[in-house]
Structure 1
Amino acid sequence: MLRISIVFKVNIQRSNHSPEQRKEEETSSVVSGSFSTFAREEIVRTRRMHRHSTAGNYATALRSLLKFHGDKNITFSDMGCELIDAYGAWLQRKGVCKDTLSCYMRSLRAIYNKAVEHGLTEQKEPFKNVFTGISRTRKRSIEKTDINKLRNVKVKPGSFMQLVRDVFLFCFYACGMPFVDVAFLKKSQITDGVLAYHRRKTNQFVQIKLEPCMEEIINRYRSDDRSYVFPFLTSQDEDTAYREYKRKFTYYNKVLKILGKQAGINKALSSYVARHTWATLAFMSSVDMPVIAQALGHTNIKTTQIYVEDIGNDKQNWANKKLLNEVLEEHSSVQEAASVQE
C-alpha cells in the first residue's frame, strides 16, 4: 500500500481591496446591467489574484460567447436558457468537442454565479440545460515498471533532459503535484522537511512531508542564486514568471515525449501523466478516494472518479483473482494435508 503523509486545508483567497474599492469595481456593471462588462472585470480580478490559467479560460469563453452574439453587448437580462441553449447548439454545429464546450460553459457559469453573489442579477439558472460535466478521459497513467524505467534511463548529467526526468518523478513522488506548482515552487515553501503550497488552479492548501526520494532530487538542484527550487523560472514578477512558465511548459512536454521513447515506455509522456499515474497507483493500492481527491487538489470528488474509473474493473478483477488464489491455495493445502494423513 502506498505510504502517504499529507495534510490538507482549504484556503479561500480574499481580495486585498478595501470595501470602497470593491464597490467601485462593481459600479460599472451595476449601472450598465452588462454581463459582458462584469465578465471583463472578473477576468482582470482573477489575473490580479495570479490565477492566470483560470483568467485565460474566462477570457476564451467570453470571446466565444460574444462571437456567437455578433460581438454585441450581453446584458444580464439576456443571460437566460434561450441564449445559452442556442450558444451550445452553435458550438456543436461548429464541431467544438464536448469537453471544450463544457469548459466554456463552466467558465461562463462561474462568472455568472459571481454576479449573482454580488447581487447584480437574480439566479435564473441559464446553464441548466447544457453539458457542464467532464467526459471520460483516455487513460494517461503508466505502470510501476515504467516509473523504474525512467529512474534508470541514462541521461546526460546537468542536461535539461535530466531536469525533465527528475521533475517528472518529483511530481509523481509529491502525490501527483501539478507541474505548474512545481515550476513556481520556492525554497521558502519548504520548512522542517515539509513542502507547502497552494494549488494555483483551485487555491487548495496542501502540505506534503518530504520523502528521501524527493529530497534527493531537490538537493541535486540546490542553488543559493535563486529563490525557486527548480531552475525553470528566473523572474520574481508574477506576470513575467508566468510567461516564462508557459514557454518552459511547452518545451518540458516536448522533451518528456523524447525521454519516454528513450526509456522504452510505450505511452506518450506529458506533464499530466505523473499526476494520473499517482492517482491510479494510489487507487490500486486501496487508498481511499477522498484522500486521493484531496492529494490531487480536486474540489469535486467526481473529477477524481473520472481519473480512476477506467481502472475500476481492473481493480475489481485483480481483487477477485487475489481472493480466489488465496481460497484455492488454502483448499490445496487442506487436500495435501489430508493425503499425507492417509
Structure 2
Amino acid sequence: MFKICIVFKISIRRDGGSPCRKRKKEESSAVSGSFSGFVRGEIARTRLMHRHSTADNYATALRSLLAFHGKKDISFAEVDSRLVDAYGEWLRRKGICKDTLSCYMRSLRAVYNKAVEQGLTEQKEPFVNVFTGISRTRKRSIEKADINKLRAVQVKPGSFMQLVRDVFLFCFYACGMPFVDVAFLKKSQIKGGILVYHRRKTDQVVQIKLEPCMQEIINRYRSDGSDYVFPFLTSQDEDTAYREYKRKFSYYNKTLKTLGKLAGVDKPLSSYVARHTWATLAFMSSVDMSVIAQALGHTDVKTTRIYVEDIGNGKQNSANKKLLNEVLRKRSSVQEVTSVQE
C-alpha cells in the first residue's frame, strides 16, 4: 500500500505585500498622529506636482518649527495655540522679520488645514493669534524713464547681460510676468499671437496678447534646438529643470543689480521690480484693479492692493486736492457774483 503525503507550503510575506501597499502602509504609519510626518508627506506630494516653490516653503517652515520644538517629531495633539504662540515668540526673539514669520505660519497653517479636511485631527484653530498677513511692502517699482534707460543701455550682443536686460523688459511688457514663468516658458505656450501660462505660485491661467516689443525679444532668442523660449533651461525633466532655474535665478538677480547701475537706475533691480513696476504704472494709468489682478495672476485683489497701496494714497490725496480746488473755486465765484449784485 502506498501512502501519499501532500504538503501545503504557506509563504507569509513580512514586507507588507506589494511595493505599492508597503509604501502606502509606511506613509500611513508615518502620518498617523504625527503632524511633522504629515507635513513631510505633503512636501513629497507637492514636489510630485512640480510645485517646488510651495514644497520649499513647507520644508523651510517645518525645519524651523522642529528647531524650536527640539524634537524630530511633533504630534497633532501637540499642535495648539499655546505651541504656535510660543513658536511665534521664539521667532521674534531670534530677529525673524514679520513677513518671514508670516510665511512660516501660513505654510504650516495650510498643511494643518489639509490634515483637518482629511479627518486626521480636529480643528483647534492653533494659528488664530499669530500674524499670517502680508505687511506693506517697500516700493519696488521704478519710473517710466528708468524703463527707457534700460532699453537704451549699451550691452554686449549675445552676452548674458543682454539676455537679462531683454528678459527683464519682457517681464514688464508681459503684464509683470514672473521670472519663474518666463524661464519655464515653452514655444508651445504661444499660439496665434497669444501667450498662455499657468502661474506656478497660484496656478491661475493668464493670457497675454503678444505686442511687437515682446515678439522682437522672442525672435532674438529663437532656436530650433530647444523647446524653451529663452535660453535659461536645458532639461526637459521638471525636477532637473527646477534645479537649473534656482541657479539661474540667483545669477539673474545678481546681474540685474549690475545692469541697473550701468543704466543709471537709482533703485536696485531684482526680478520682482518688473512686476511691481507694471502694476504701479497700470494703476497710475487708471487701469481697473480687477484687471491688474487678473493680469498678475492674483487670486485675491487684496494682494494686488498691497502692490499699489502707497500709490493709491497719493492718487487719493491728489483727487481730494483737485476736488476741493474745484469746489472752493466755484464758491469763490459765487461770492464774487453775490457781492457785485449787492
Q: Does 1:304 align with 2:304?
A: yes
Q: For 1:159 and 1:325, how far apart are their aligned partners in 2?
A: 53
Q: For 2:96 and 2:263, how far apart are their aligned partners in 1?
A: 36
Any conservation in 2 of the 1:197–1:206 contact (CA below 8 Å)?
Answer: yes
1:138 alignment partner AA: R
Give the TM-score normalised by structure 2.
0.86
Q: For 1:270 and 1:106, how far apart are their aligned partners in 2?
A: 24
Change (3 A) 1:21 1:321: farther
Once the two structures are superposed, residues 263-294 of structure 1 have per-residue CA deviations (whole angstroms, 9 ceiling, x without a partner) of 11111100000000011011111111122122
Post-superposition shift, 1:317?
A: 3.8
Q: For 2:80 and 2:314, how far apart are their aligned partners in 1?
A: 44
Instruction: Name the stretch that deviates more: 309-318 or 272-281.
Output: 309-318
Any conservation in 2 of the 1:169–1:274 contact (CA below 8 Å)?
Answer: yes
Q: For 1:210 and 1:72, how far apart are their aligned partners in 2?
A: 51
Post-superposition shift, 1:153?
A: 1.1
After superposition, where does 1:229-248 map in structure 2 within 5 Å? 229-248=229-248
Q: For 1:132 and 1:168, how far apart are their aligned partners in 2?
A: 31
1:185 alignment partner AA: L
User: Unpaired runs of 5+ in structure 1?
Assistant: 1-19, 331-342
Corresponding position of 2:75: 75
Once the two structures are superposed, residues 194-213 of structure 1 have per-residue CA deviations (whole angstroms, 9 ceiling, x without a partner) of 11111111111111111111
Q: For 2:251 and 2:96, how far apart are their aligned partners in 1?
A: 27
Post-superposition shift, 1:299?
A: 1.8
Q: For 1:96 and 1:254, how far apart are their aligned partners in 2?
A: 24
After superposition, where does 1:209-224 map in structure 2 within 5 Å? 209-224=209-224
Change (3 A) 1:319 1:214: farther
Corresponding position of 1:136: 136
User: Unpaired runs of 5+ in structure 2?
Assistant: 1-20, 331-342
Give the TM-score normalised by structure 1.
0.86
* SS at 1:119 equivalent: coil
Corresponding position of 1:9: none
Identity of aligned residues (%): 82
Q: For 1:154 and 1:329, how far apart are their aligned partners in 2?
A: 50
User: Higher Cα Rg: structure 1 or 2?
Assistant: 2
* SS at 2:281 equivalent: helix
Instruction: Name the stretch that deviates more: 148-157 or 106-115.
Output: 148-157
Post-superposition shift, 1:256?
A: 0.8
Any conservation in 2 of the 1:253–1:269 contact (CA below 8 Å)?
Answer: yes
Corresponding position of 2:28: 27
Q: For 2:259 and 2:78, how far apart are their aligned partners in 1?
A: 51
Q: For 2:47 and 2:162, how far apart are their aligned partners in 1?
A: 33
1:218 alignment partner AA: I
Post-superposition shift, 1:124?
A: 1.1
Report 1 or 2 for greater relative contact order, CA contacts < 8 Å, sequence distance ≥ 6: 1
Q: Does 1:106 align with 2:106?
A: yes
* SS at 2:78 equivalent: coil
Corresponding position of 1:264: 264
1:131 alignment partner AA: F
Instruction: Name the stretch that deviates more: 126-135 or 321-330.
Output: 321-330
Change (3 A) 1:328 1:182: farther
Post-superposition shift, 1:92?
A: 0.9
Once the two structures are superposed, residues 51-90 of structure 1 have per-residue CA deviations (whole angstroms, 9 ceiling, x without a partner) of 1111011001001111111124211111110110111111
Once the two structures are superposed, residues 148-201 of structure 1 have per-residue CA deviations (whole angstroms, 9 ceiling, x without a partner) of 111111111111111111100100011100000000000011111111111111
Q: For 1:299 and 1:86, how far apart are their aligned partners in 2?
A: 31
Change (3 A) 1:321 1:82: closer
Any conservation in 2 of the 1:106–1:132 contact (CA below 8 Å)?
Answer: yes
Any conservation in 2 of the 1:35–1:76 contact (CA below 8 Å)?
Answer: yes
* SS at 1:201 equivalent: coil
Count of residue pairs the alignment pairs up:
312
Cα RMSD (Å): 2.4
Change (3 A) 1:47 1:71: same
